[in-house]
Structure 1
Amino acid sequence: MRDIVCNCQMVDRKTIDKAIHEKSATTIEEIRRYTGANTGCGKCIGYINSILDTEVPKIAVKVENSPPSKFKLW
């Protein structure tokens, strides 16, 4: 059984998590762009925001613990 986040667009939790962790989507606007969620009635915005509140800090920890890049930008 899928955990549907957005009933209008049939977007599940796995799709939202994938957008956050693979595409670094950290805002509701980016979630809309990558998944289509929250582009219908808008009732799922609270659920999506709670997912972002839970998952985005995990990205920050992952970035902090990643090894430094060997390439310089300047």
Structure 2
Amino acid sequence: MRDIVCNCQMVDRDTIDKAIHDKNATTIEEIRRYTGANTGCGKCMSYINSILDVEVPKIVKKEENTQGSRFKLW
């Protein structure tokens, strides 16, 4: 069963997560651009923002871990 985030555009949670993690979408505007979600009635904005609040810190943490390991001296 799909967890529909945006009923107007039929965008599911997996699509939102992929935009965040694969395309580094970190704002509602980027989610709109990459997925089409939140371009209809706007009722899903709070749901998308709550997803961003949970998922964006994961991206930041992953980037910090990647950058730290890239510059090892030995």
| Matched ranges for 1:31-70 at <5 A | 31-66=31-66, 67-68=69-70
In proportion to residue count, which structure has more helix? 2
Identity of aligned residues (%): 81
Structure 1-normalised TM-score? 0.91
Instruction: Tell me the number of residue pairs that the alignment of Structure 1 and Structure 2 aligns.
Output: 69
Q: Which runs of 4+ in 1 moved over 4 A?
A: none
Residue-by-residue CA offset, 1:4-51 (whole Å, 9 max, x unaligned) = 000000000000000000000000000000000000000000000000
Runs of 5+ consecutive residues of structure 2 not aligned to the other structure: none
Residue equivalent to 2:21: 21
Measure the CA separation in 2 of the matches of 1:6 and 1:19: 14
Measure the CA separation in 2 of the matches of 1:39 and 1:11: 11
Measure the CA separation in 1 of the matches of 2:16 and 2:51: 8
Structure 2-normalised TM-score? 0.91
Measure the CA separation in 1 of the matches of 2:18 and 2:27: 14
Measure the CA separation in 2 of the matches of 1:3 and 1:62: 25
Root-mean-square deviation (CA, aligned residues, Å) is 0.9
SS in 1 for 2:5: strand
Runs of 5+ consecutive residues of structure 1 not aligned to the other structure: 70-74
SS in 2 for 1:9: coil
